[in-house]
Structure 1
Amino acid sequence: MASDTVTARAEPDVASPSGSRRPKRFGGSRLGGLILALNLLSLLILFVGALALNEWQRGLIEARQETLKAQAEMLVRVLGEPQIGVTRGSPVPYLDSIEASRWLRDNFIPEGQRARLFDVDGIPVADSYEVTEAIPGRPLPPARPAGTPEATPDAKVIAGTTRKQEQARLALAAEVEGALEGQTQAQVRLSETGDRVVSVSTPVRHVQQVLGVLTLEAGDVDETVGAQRRALMPFALVALAVNLLGSLLLHLFVARPVMRLSAAADEVRLQRARAISLPDLEGRKDEIGDLARSLESMTETLSARMDAIEAFAADVSHEIKNPLTSIRSALETLPLVKTEAQREKLTALLQQDVRRLDRLITDISNASRLDAELNRDRPRMVNLTSLLTDIVSVYEAGRKPGEARVVFTPPAGEDALIVGRDGPLGQVFRNLIDNARSFSPPGGEVRLILKRDDLDARPIRVLIEDDGPGIPPENLETVFERFYTSRPRGTAFGANSGLGLSIVRQIVEAHGGTVRAENRPGEDGPAGARFEVALPVAAPPARRA
């Protein structure tokens, strides 16, 4: 018999079936690692996009250029007026560099900007840094203690600095040269100190003649972008914390429970447990709880099926041993028999036991294949009226003299339609008819009555009645157990295996129905046995519009 059911409460750190432990990832979970990776990837995309600020930075530079252009246009318009004293109109218009420097000193000293004035030959004549206290360049390094040897500049650094300065000078010269041709130039370039600046060069005109170029530079773009990035850092850190917390919660409430269920399933598969039982997961009201409850129900069903198989195997072993023991006893007695009559009696007994064994093995084979046949055959619409009519006609066609008749009473009105498998259903009614005929007296009658009761949950009912001795009241339920036989005197021994009614109940319950036994009341006791099979009716087909 089966042992008591052992439940699996495995934790996720069990070894894999191959003997090696699962590779450790995020908490030992592939799903947890995937959740963390996806969350971090989305956060990284957001973070990189916020830091790049390409579109915003381009708009900022364009806006800065437009501001410098407007400012430069206003300044060159003032510089081009002879009344200011910066330009001279006779005999040839030219730009007075001394007056221009004074004018820049007195009228243009904005913080964060640099103004430079070039003459018609592109030679610088004024620089706002030179007429103010602003000192271009980077802060000096801190003072060294006395006696510290002076650090020797690296030749590569010096060469790089010189190259950057030369590139900055060439870029400025190209910009000024373009402005001397009469068109305002705007670009983003590097200054002599290596800083990125927004530069606008506008020609200074006297009437239509270009007298020089005014260049305005603003170097606060990087500072503005940096300030915006620093302002976004708290939001990025909060988003990072939320993503990490979300990953942790998903790992704890999704990935880890799935790992525990997987480990518990491995315990069942490795036969260290018979069922899964994780109460802390089964009590959850989400999909994980549904999965845990489904797995527990599945393993409990499998465990019950295994117990039934073990019990069936034990019953089969017991039933097969009886005819085998009888055969062995007869064979051991056969050499000791003196007369021919005794020998024929033993031979008849052997043949009877062999037939009994053959019938028992056949019924056992049919019972063991029943589950597979029920699962393999797909349910379909079955007309129970036609099925019973065909079965009864076969019995009547092959009825021998003295055997009980089989009479079928169909329902009045429409046919009885059910959803099921006609092969197993036919076996149900053949087993019940065979059982009723075996108990019927010679010349008796077995009646099949098909009726419908729409007030019941299973409205299709089939009654099989006989005129036999009936069933003892205490055995009305026992008759459906495997290998149970109770035959009246004179019945051939071993003609029945006791599996027929057990198979009937198994098939009927697989179709969602019920089967029960009762005695038909008579004047002096039971007038016979009655078996009732109740089945659900098929839903009517949907009508097309």
Structure 2
Amino acid sequence: MLPRSGTPALPPVRPDGEDSEERATATRFGITARILAVNVAGLVFLMFGVLYLNQFRVKLIDERSDALAGYSEIIAGILAETAVTTLPVPGIDRTVIDVAEANAILRRTILPSGYRARIYDRNGGLIADSWWLSSDGRLETRPLSAPGERPGFLARLRAFIDGLLPRRSFPPYREAGPLELGTVYEEVANAIEGEEGDAELRARRVNSEGELVLSVAVPIQRFKALLGVLLVSTEGSDIDQLVAEEEQSIILLFVIALTMTVLLTLGITLAVARPIKELAVAAHRVRANQGLLRSGFDDSLPHLAERWDEVGALARSLDGMTRALAQRIDAIERFAADVAHEIKNPLTSMRSALETLEGTTDPAARARLVEIVQADIKRLNRLISDIADASRLDAELGRAEAEPVSVPRLVENLALIWRDTHGGDGPQVVCEMDVGTADPGALRTPGVEIRLAQVFQNLLANAVSFSPQTGTVRLHVSLRGERPHRMVRVSVEDDGPGIPQDSLERIFERFYTQRPKVSDFGRNSGLGLSISRQIVLAHGGRIWAENRQGADGGVAGARLVVDLPVQEPEGP
């Protein structure tokens, strides 16, 4: 398709209510909110993923359970070797655990470790508990929070997140009374029964404060005879404290990353979102007041147009689009004013002729007045036809598919048709070829043939109208430039009075005409050369006018020149 030389029409302005609703929606779901939501969502998912998939808690529990089991086996071995005694019962082996010696061993080994140890006899009765022991005779106590003391922000946040994350559930821990059998604990019962394996002799429970309690039951055996069971358990706070510290470190990193994300988002907003919003507000002002089109965006937002990034490029593009739109609107307004003026002239002439016709009875005068009315009607018809042609030209060239057009052959055919239709009337039309090839028809340009024919027909008719009856109109086709940027040049020369120097550009303006008084003005609308330039520009060419110099140095006539790009053949 050929590029359009015009610009599309402005979209209709919507009601204020609809526009206000759109601005409200843009505010609710602006770039700032979207960037912040995406960044924060990514951080939140990352934090929850790290906390959920974090193997630190599981690994810590497993390692602590293994260490507790190894430590318990060592203590059980010591008890079996040193804390036993034999009851003086004749005929029966009554080897039992020496409670006093066992308490001494627990005092030296268990109390410094922070574990709790209980010893049960072979029937499950409790005979020793490290909680009963202390070097200074006092019970072990755990520190409580001061009255009114509240956990810190990170601790509260961790507790909230822990409530959201799925956790592995453990059975509750129940403290057995001093008179209860140790078989209430499944691991103790399995040890008494002689069960083996980690699953049977280890347990994980949660106490009333939500803390994890690990316990290991180890049989106390001497020469494979069961003397009792050692139950060693942890204090729940130490494991949970380590896990809490690890999770709080992750949450602290998340808070720092969240703060940096918010700051970066605000920075991006200041650098991108706010300038775009300013451009949108400026565009809204231009839409509300079309008078601002003349100044463009640069005058209202100079700091954006000076930026050398994407926002600056957008601002400059919007400014260029606005100025082009302003030029288009100005052109439309001038076109409308010119049309009104050109239509008003023949209408005024017709009105005057008709009013005069009513008051005269002279046949010659009436015939002359009728002739004037007919000429004005012809001029109006020609003017309306050319205006319609010019108005639909952009859309037609934009839809048309470009095809190879042989410019030399097209010009030659137009010259032949002109000579055949006009015979010997008027100036002589001569066609000259200087393309340096055996087949001039091989020189082609991509375009719409009917429109290119209209251009050369307009130039030919214009030259004939300015040439004297005995003059000559010359159509000259030549080749310019080098491959692959060659241009085919068509020049149309006449023997007329030439063009005033200050009108060489103005003759391509709409409705501009400077013709001899004897010319039939009903056949000329002043749009022919303007339409021709519009077509040539749409084909990627150029058109201009100049005067021919005679032998005496004076003006010998006018020359109108058209350059069109050559479609180069493929291959060498």
If the length of structure 2 is used for normalisation, what is the TM-score?
0.79
Q: Which amino acid aligns with 2:261?
A: N
Q: Please, which of 150, 153, 177 is the counterpart of residue 189 of structure 2?
A: 177
Question: Does residue 493 in structure 1 map to residue 521 in structure 2?
Answer: yes
Summarize the Cα distance change of 1:113–1:229 in structure 2 as closer, same or farther, 3 Å threshold.
Answer: same
Tell me the equivalent position of 2:46.
Answer: 46
Counterpart CA distance in 1 for 2:131 and 2:318 is: 80
The answer to whether the 8 A contact 2:206-2:213 is kept is: yes
Counterpart CA distance in 1 for 2:108 and 2:326 is: 99
Summarize the Cα distance change of 1:384–1:80 in structure 2 as closer, same or farther, 3 Å threshold.
Answer: farther
3-state SS, counterpart of residue 108 of structure 1 = helix
Counterpart CA distance in 1 for 2:489 and 2:85 is: 119
1:410: Cα distance to partner? 5.9
Q: How does 1:435-474 map to 2 (within 5 A)?
A: 435-442=462-469, 444-454=472-482, 459-474=487-502
Question: Does residue 108 in structure 1 map to residue 110 in structure 2?
Answer: yes
Counterpart CA distance in 2 for 1:140 and 1:502 is: 94
Question: Does residue 481 in structure 1 map to residue 478 in structure 2?
Answer: no
Summarize the Cα distance change of 1:93–1:435 in structure 2 as closer, same or farther, 3 Å threshold.
Answer: farther
Q: How does 1:379-390 map to 2 (within 5 A)?
A: 379=402, 382-389=405-412
Query: How far does the alpha carbon of each residue in 1:291-341 deviate from its partner, in whole angstroms, 9 at most, with x for none?
Result: 111111001100000001101111111111110011001110111121222
Q: Please, which of 84, 87, 108 is the counterpart of residue 86 of structure 1?
A: 84
Which blocks of at least 5 consecutive residues in structure 2 are unaligned? 1-15, 149-170
The answer to whether the 8 A contact 1:176-1:213 is kept is: yes
The answer to whether the 8 A contact 1:80-1:87 is kept is: no
- Tell me how large the CA RMSD over aligned residues is: 3.4
3-state SS, counterpart of residue 276 of structure 1 = coil
Q: Which amino acid aligns with 1:484?
A: Y
The answer to whether the 8 A contact 2:174-2:207 is kept is: no
Tell me the equivalent position of 2:276.
Answer: 258
Query: How far does the alpha carbon of each residue in 1:202-246 deviate from its partner, in whole angstroms, 9 at most, with x for none?
Result: 333334454433233233111111222344454333212211111
Summarize the Cα distance change of 1:486–1:107 in structure 2 as closer, same or farther, 3 Å threshold.
Answer: closer
1:459: Cα distance to partner? 3.4
Counterpart CA distance in 2 for 1:483 and 1:187 is: 103
Question: Does residue 190 in structure 1 map to residue 206 in structure 2?
Answer: yes
3-state SS, counterpart of residue 494 of structure 1 = helix
Counterpart CA distance in 1 for 2:369 and 2:75 is: 136
Q: Which amino acid aligns with 2:37?
A: A
3-state SS, counterpart of residue 528 of structure 1 = strand
Summarize the Cα distance change of 1:231–1:331 in structure 2 as closer, same or farther, 3 Å threshold.
Answer: same
Counterpart CA distance in 1 for 2:98 and 2:405 is: 113
3-state SS, counterpart of residue 268 of structure 1 = helix
Summarize the Cα distance change of 1:43–1:25 in structure 2 as closer, same or farther, 3 Å threshold.
Answer: farther
Question: Does residue 530 in structure 1 map to residue 530 in structure 2?
Answer: no
Counterpart CA distance in 2 for 1:168 and 1:381 is: 102
3-state SS, counterpart of residue 117 of structure 1 = strand
Tell me the equivalent position of 2:9.
Answer: none
Summarize the Cα distance change of 1:207–1:334 in structure 2 as closer, same or farther, 3 Å threshold.
Answer: farther
Query: How far does the alpha carbon of each residue in 1:156-208 deviate from its partner, in whole angstroms, 9 at most, with x for none?
Result: xxxxxxx9664889997123223442333334312366522233333333344
1:87: Cα distance to partner? 6.9
Q: Which amino acid aligns with 1:479?
A: I
The answer to whether the 8 A contact 1:105-1:128 is kept is: yes
Question: Does residue 506 in structure 1 map to residue 520 in structure 2?
Answer: no
Q: How does 1:325-336 map to 2 (within 5 A)?
A: 325-336=348-359
3-state SS, counterpart of residue 257 of structure 1 = helix
Q: How does 1:49-68 map to 2 (within 5 A)?
A: 49=49, 54-68=54-68
Counterpart CA distance in 1 for 2:499 and 2:93 is: 143
Query: How far does the alpha carbon of each residue in 1:421-474 deviate from its partner, in whole angstroms, 9 at most, with x for none?
Result: 444333322222221232234463431313122299773322222333322333
Tell me the equivalent position of 2:389.
Answer: 366
Summarize the Cα distance change of 1:54–1:235 in structure 2 as closer, same or farther, 3 Å threshold.
Answer: closer
Summarize the Cα distance change of 1:24–1:325 in structure 2 as closer, same or farther, 3 Å threshold.
Answer: closer
Q: Which amino acid aligns with 1:226?
A: A
The answer to whether the 8 A contact 1:57-1:225 is kept is: yes
The answer to whether the 8 A contact 1:29-1:256 is kept is: no
Q: Which moved more, 1:316-325 or 1:484-493?
A: 484-493
Tell me the equivalent position of 2:362.
Answer: 339
Tell me the equivalent position of 1:318.
Answer: 341
Q: Which amino acid aligns with 1:135?
A: E
3-state SS, counterpart of residue 248 of structure 1 = helix
Summarize the Cα distance change of 1:421–1:92 in structure 2 as closer, same or farther, 3 Å threshold.
Answer: farther
Q: Please, which of 186, 205, 212 is the counterpart of residue 228 of structure 2?
A: 212
Summarize the Cα distance change of 1:462–1:96 in structure 2 as closer, same or farther, 3 Å threshold.
Answer: farther
1:371: Cα distance to partner? 2.3
The answer to whether the 8 A contact 1:396-1:406 is kept is: no
Summarize the Cα distance change of 1:173–1:531 in structure 2 as closer, same or farther, 3 Å threshold.
Answer: same
Q: Which amino acid aligns with 1:491?
A: S
Tell me the equivalent position of 2:5.
Answer: none
The answer to whether the 8 A contact 2:47-2:250 is kept is: no
Counterpart CA distance in 2 for 1:252 and 1:454 is: 52
The answer to whether the 8 A contact 2:489-2:562 is kept is: yes
Q: Which amino acid aligns with 1:55?
A: Q
Tell me the equivalent position of 1:10.
Answer: none
3-state SS, counterpart of residue 368 of structure 1 = helix
The answer to whether the 8 A contact 2:477-2:488 is kept is: no
3-state SS, counterpart of residue 267 of structure 1 = helix
The answer to whether the 8 A contact 1:129-1:136 is kept is: no
Tell me the equivalent position of 1:276.
Answer: 297
Summarize the Cα distance change of 1:25–1:352 in structure 2 as closer, same or farther, 3 Å threshold.
Answer: closer
Counterpart CA distance in 2 for 1:167 and 1:429 is: 110
Query: How far does the alpha carbon of each residue in 1:13-32 deviate from its partner, in whole angstroms, 9 at most, with x for none?
Result: xx876456933887x76111
Query: How far does the alpha carbon of each residue in 1:43-69 deviate from its partner, in whole angstroms, 9 at most, with x for none?
Result: 323344455563221122122122222
1:506: Cα distance to partner? 2.2
Query: How far does the alpha carbon of each residue in 1:335-391 deviate from its partner, in whole angstroms, 9 at most, with x for none?
Result: 112122222221111111100110011111111222222333355555544544554
Tell me the equivalent position of 1:427.
Answer: 454
Question: Does residue 357 in structure 1 map to residue 357 in structure 2?
Answer: no
Counterpart CA distance in 2 for 1:280 and 1:29 is: 26
Query: How far does the alpha carbon of each residue in 1:48-97 deviate from its partner, in whole angstroms, 9 at most, with x for none?
Result: 4455563221122122122222222323333333xx13376972655444
The answer to whether the 8 A contact 2:412-2:431 is kept is: no
- Report % sequence identity: 40
3-state SS, counterpart of residue 491 of structure 1 = coil
Summarize the Cα distance change of 1:107–1:282 in structure 2 as closer, same or farther, 3 Å threshold.
Answer: same
Q: Please, which of 312, 319, 331 is the counterpart of residue 289 of structure 1?
A: 312
Q: Which moved more, 1:315-324 or 1:270-279?
A: 270-279
Tell me the equivalent position of 2:119.
Answer: 117
